[in-house]
Amino acid sequence: MKITILNGDMSQGGSELSRFLEKLVAGISPNHQVSQFPLHTMNLHYCTGCWNCWWKTPGRCSINDDGSEIFNSVINSDFVVFASPLLAGFTSSALKKITDRLIVLLHPYIELNQGECHHRKRYAKYPDFGLLLEMEPDTDQDDLKIVGDLYDRFAINFHSKKRNMWLVNHDNTEDIIDEICFV
């Protein structure tokens, strides 16, 4: 099984989230291939909305940065972990930036999906994913619901399934590993 971890931790020294991810990866069987991307250390730009990935270079972003490595890993994965501390009630800008740019993996053409207009698939298979969040001291259930709902919407457009939303808690590492590896 191929697993991609998109680490949206923005701290330089490593946070509780990054330590948790290290523990998580160490617990995943060597039979699984894990690719980790520490987004804050990578050369990643914001989507410019140029639409070149749809019209001029279908399926390839025209921005020359580390995004293509991430896109390749995501689309060839069985499972993706979107990991981020909550900052002002939402995921980090690093995670949001790459999540937005995953649009490159879809067609520009629209079809009805669950009674709504969404992009058509570009590829035959899209990975399921999970959302791993580190809460802020003032995080409440409304914050978690908003982030969860946005990634539920992402799942529909990405022809995927959000399997779970986990919170960083060193007591639940084994449970998360079991859920990730049970694809």
Please, which pLDDT band fits residue 172 given cuts at 50, 70 and 90? confident
Q: Which residues of 6-35 are buried (b: 16+ CB within 10 A; e: fewer)?
A: bbbbbeeeebebbebbeebeeebeeebebb
Average pLDDT over residues 28-57: 94
pLDDT digits (tens, 9 = 90+) for 81-92: 999 999 999 999
Token couple for 2: 């191929």
Token couple for 17: 């989230």
Amino acid making up residue 50:
C
Q: Could you tell me the sign of the dihedral formed by the alpha carbons of 73, 163, 58, 121, in that order?
A: positive
Secondary structure of residue 119 in the 3-state scheme: strand
Q: What distance in Å separates the CA atoms of residue 104 and residue 88, rounded to the nearest whole number? A: 28
Q: What distance in Å separates the CA atoms of residue 28 and residue 22, rounded to the nearest whole number? A: 10
Token couple for 165: 């939303």
Please, which pLDDT band fits residue 171 given cuts at 50, 70 and 90? confident
Are 39 and 98 in contact, with CB atoms under 8 Å apart?
yes
Q: Would you state the CATH architecture of domain 2-181?
A: 3-Layer(aba) Sandwich (3.40)
12 has pLDDT over 80: no
The ranges assigned to domains in the chain are: 2-181
The phi and psi torsions of 171 (rounded to 5 degrees) equal: -85, -15
pTM: 0.95
Q: Could you tell me the sign of the dihedral formed by the alpha carbons of 132, 138, 139, 141, in that order?
A: positive
160 has pLDDT over 90: yes
Are 128 and 78 in contact, with CB atoms under 8 Å apart?
yes
